[in-house]
Amino acid sequence: MPQQTKNVAKKRPVPTKRSPVTGGVKAAEAKVFAHTGAEDDVRITALELAPGKLSPEMEAYFKKCDEKLGFVPNVLKAFAFDDGKLQAFVDYRQQLVQNTENLSKLEIEMIATAVSAQNRCFYCITAHGNAVRQLGGPVLGEMMVQNYRAARLPKRQRAMLDFAVKLTIKPWEVEEEDRDKLRRAGFTDRDIWDIASVAAFYNMTNRLASATDMRPNSVYHGQAR
C-alpha cells in the first residue's frame, strides 16, 4: 500500500515550502536525507569559477527576473562568471527559442521538457517541467517529465514531440519523411525550423547542466502543483 497517509498530508500546510517531511519518518533518517534543495540555491554548479562583473544591462536583467519571478534562475547565475557569455546566452535563447513564429509558449516548454527528460537532466526538467505546469496545468507537466506518450495530445503536438525526441536520440536518422510528418500535421517549414531550434537548444543546455552539475532553484519544485 502506498506510504502516504491522510495524517502526513495534513501536517504539510505549506506544500511548496522546502522543509524536510518529518511525519512518519524517524528523526535520524530524516536527518540523513536532508534533501531540502536549499543547498542547490547556494552551490549552483560543481565548478569553482571566479565571479565576474555584470554589465549594467545584465544587472538590469537580473533585477527584472527577481522582480517578476522572485528569484534569478540559477542557469543565469552559472553563466555570470563571464558577462559576455551570459549576454550571448540570453540573446541566443531570446532569438532562437522564444522568437518562434507559430509555436506557443506552452509548446516551446513542452519540447524543452520532453527533450530534457530524454537526457535525464535534473536542472532542465525541473525548470521547464515547472513552466509546462504553469502554462498547461500540473498533470501535463508531469506527463512531459515522465513519458510524453502518456499525454493524450492533439495530433499536432504529438508530431512535434515525436520529432523533437527523435532528433534528440537519433539525429542521424532524421530525414525528409520526418519533416513531412510535421508538414502533414499542419506545421510550416518555419515551424520545423523553430521546433528543431528549440529541441537543439535544450540538447545543448541539458549537456551544459549535466557537465557542471548545475542545480535548479529549489523554488521550482513546489510551484504550480
**185 counts as binding a copy of itself under rule CB under 8 A:** no
Q: At its nearest, how many Å lie between a copy of itself and the CB of residue 224?
A: 5
* CA 178 to chain CA mean position, Å: 25
Among 13, 14, 42, 56, binds a copy of itself (CB under 8 A): 14
Per the structure block, which three cell numbers stand in for 95?
532569438
* CA-CA-CA-CA torsion sign (42, 46, 51, 55): negative
* Nearer residue to a copy of itself within complex by CB, 161 or 203: 203
**60 counts as binding a copy of itself under rule CB under 8 A:** no
**138 counts as binding a copy of itself under rule CB under 8 A:** yes
Q: What share of the chain is helix, strand, coil (3-state, %, to 5)?
A: 65, 0, 35
**69 counts as binding a copy of itself under rule CB under 8 A:** yes
Per the structure block, which three cell numbers stand in for 223?
510551484
Among 54, 119, 181, 185, binds a copy of itself (CB under 8 A): 119
Question: What part of residues 18-47 is at the interface with a copy of itself (CB under 8 A)?
Answer: 18-22, 24-26, 29-30, 32-37, 39-40, 46-47
- CA angle 189/193/197 to nearest 5° reads 165
Measured CA distances, 206 to 43, 118, 119 (Å): 18, 10, 7
Question: What part of residues 188-207 is at the interface with a copy of itself (CB under 8 A)?
Answer: 189-190, 192-193, 195-197, 199-201, 203-207
